[in-house]
Chains A and B, each alone.
Chain A
Amino acid sequence: QKEVEQNSGPLSVPEGAIASLNCTYSDRGSQSFFWYRQYSGKSPELIMFIYSNGDKEDGRFTAQLNKASQYVSLLIRDSQPSDSATYLCAPQDNYGQNFVFGPGTRLSVLP
């Protein structure tokens, strides 16, 4: 059973702060890791993905991956109220076939 765990939150941070979202996964065969943002009532939108250990930066977002610890995180710098959403972690299996979505972490950025 492939499992993905995320803290459901809500995670509340003040505007301008760094938000840190964490995700652990059970499938050691996972190769690529995707972060999606989902606003209430909307479908997910891709933020970024990472497949190598270490950090990957894209604008205000930084994904961090540690395959040995089966841990992936997403940092959001200079958080804005518009970042308030649910963030879904999605490891992809080795065959590149499918994602297993985590339950998501609800982020609330307070103005």
Chain B
Amino acid sequence: GAVVSQHPSWVICKSGTSVKIECRSLDFQATTMFWYRQFPKQSLMLMATSNEGSKATYEQGVEKDKFLINHASLTLSTLTVTSAHPEDSSFYICSAREDRYEQYFGPGTRLTVT
């Protein structure tokens, strides 16, 4: 099956700093990648959709200047949380899709902002 990796698996950072999370599709070319956020005991919330080579489409209520997404190649997308605050602490999950319909999820990145 399709494999998606994320790095780092978990990260702790201080308030006000920026954190970059990488999402890679290892054995397929991902034309579209998605970024989700999940708070404890809640469902996945889509943050943004990115297509390779174009600007990401952000969901309503997600600040594009705070959550910078770059989809520079067909196998790599990055999410940068800028000026992180404790309320940004969450489980960030990416998913990737080739030309078929199903999405394959990365293992997630747990971010803790102190």
Of B43-51, B66-74, B77-85, the stretch lying at the interface with chain A is B43-51
Chain A, residues 89-109, CB within 8 Å of chain B (1/0): the string is 000100011110111100000
Of A13-21, A43-51, A60-68, A73-81, the stretch lying at the interface with chain B is A43-51
Chain B residues with CB under 8 Å of A72's CB are: none
Q: For the side of the interface on A, what is the size category?
A: 10 to 19
A101 touching B43 in the complex, CB below 8 Å, given contacts A34-B102, A43-B93, A49-B102: yes
B102 touches A103 (CB 8 A): no
Assess whether A23 is interfacial by the CB under 8 Å rule: no
Chain B residues with CB under 8 Å of A32's CB are: 101
Q: Report the nearest B residue to A103, measured CB to CB.
A: B43
Chain B, residues 5-37, CB within 8 Å of chain A (1/0): the string is 000000000000000000000000000101000
B105 touches A99 (CB 8 A): no
Give, as a whole number of angstroms, the nearest-CB distance from A50 to chain B: 11
Q: How far is the CA of A42 from the CA of B46 in the complex (A)?
A: 17
Query: Which of A43, A49, A98 contacts B46, CB < 8 Å?
Result: A98
Q: How far is the CA of A101 from the CA of B37 in the complex (A)?
A: 12
Assess whether B103 is interfacial by the CB under 8 Å rule: yes
A104 touching B43 in the complex, CB below 8 Å, given contacts A97-B49, A98-B49: yes
A99 touches B108 (CB 8 A): no
B49 touches A44 (CB 8 A): no
Chain A residues with CB under 8 Å of B101's CB are: 32, 34, 49, 92, 96
Query: Which of B34, B44, B104, B107 contacts A46, CB < 8 Å?
Result: B104
Known: A46-B102, A98-B34, A98-B46. 11 other contacts (CB 8 A): A32-B101, A34-B102, A36-B105, A43-B106, A43-B108, A49-B101, A88-B43, A92-B101, A99-B103, A101-B43, A101-B44
A binding-site residues for B, Cβ under 8 Å: 32, 34, 36, 42-46, 49, 88, 92, 96-99, 101-104
- A-B residue pairs, 9 tightest by C-beta: A43-B108, A43-B105, A103-B43, A101-B44, A43-B93, A44-B105, A101-B43, A43-B107, A32-B101
